[in-house]
């Protein structure tokens, strides 16, 4: 009698862990939020100048939030996934 070779189930492993992907999504949301803060400041009449385009929110706060989002994305990629051993 011959033994039938059972196909071995190969576990697919991704480059990053589940936590890394969650952090990537959080970083992406932070970046989108920063870009949303930059929206606005348009003058109603094109012949008039609107000072609102130079507000603190658009010039300072939003770029800082976007930069933080990109730094957070780098952290999310570089973070070493936790190794779980199943026996």
Q: Where are the domains of the chain?
A: 28-78
Give the pLDDT mean for 5-24. Answer: 82
The predicted-structure confidence for 49-61, as pLDDT tens digits, reads as follows 888 888 999 999 9
Greater model confidence, 17 or 26:
26
pTM, entire model: 0.75
Q: Say if residue 2's pLDDT is above 50.
A: yes
Least confident of 26-35, 42-51, 61-70: 42-51
Greater model confidence, 36 or 12:
36
Q: Looking at residue 9, what is its pLDDT? A: 74
Rg over alpha carbons for the chain, rounded to the nearest Å, is: 24
Helix (H, G, I), strand (E, B) or coil at 30: helix
């Amino acid at each position: 009698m011959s033994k039938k070779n059972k196909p071995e189930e190969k576990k697919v492993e991704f480059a990053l862990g589940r936590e890394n992907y969650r952090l990537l999504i959080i970083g992406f949301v932070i970046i989108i939020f920063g870009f949303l803060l930059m929206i606005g400041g348009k003058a109603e009449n094109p012949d008039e100048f609107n000072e609102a385009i130079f507000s603190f929110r658009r010039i300072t706060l939003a770029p800082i939030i976007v930069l933080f989002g990109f730094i957070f994305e780098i952290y999310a990629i570089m973070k070493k996934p936790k190794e779980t051993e199943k026996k």
